[in-house]
Amino acid sequence: MDKKAFEKRIQDDAACRENFLKWASANLIRLAKEAAEAAAAGAGKDSSEESESTTNSGESADKVEDDQEEGSNESGDSGGTSSNSNKNES
């Protein structure tokens, strides 16, 4: 692996980690807000309404997760190739 390819991989890996941290941070904030809202509104709701809100939250989390996987697949292509070459060098 030449120096330019190695530097490119380092940049790609750093960008991937940064995107993941942004995604994880946004999800933690969203989950905290949802938990606070559920706790505040939980006293007045019956169990059927709570299960509906949980289902809706899961669906939106799946969409965010799918978006993250698409981003990982795009930037992960170069990483996958170089990791295979590392195995061949051993």
Which residues constitute the domain of residue 57?
3-89
Rounded to an integer, what distance in angstroms lies between the CA atom of residue 2 and that of residue 81?
14
- Does residue 3 contact residue 70 with C-beta atoms inside 8 Å? no
CA angle 82, 88, 2 (to 5 degrees): 45
Task: Report how many domains make up the chain.
Answer: 1
pTM: 0.43
Rounded to an integer, what distance in angstroms lies between the CA atom of residue 69 and that of residue 3?
28
Rounded to an integer, what distance in angstroms lies between the CA atom of residue 90 and that of residue 14?
25
- Digit-by-digit pLDDT tens for the chain (90 residues) are 699 999 999 999 999 999 999 999 999 999 999 999 999 887 666 555 555 555 555 555 555 566 556 555 554 544 444 444 444 443
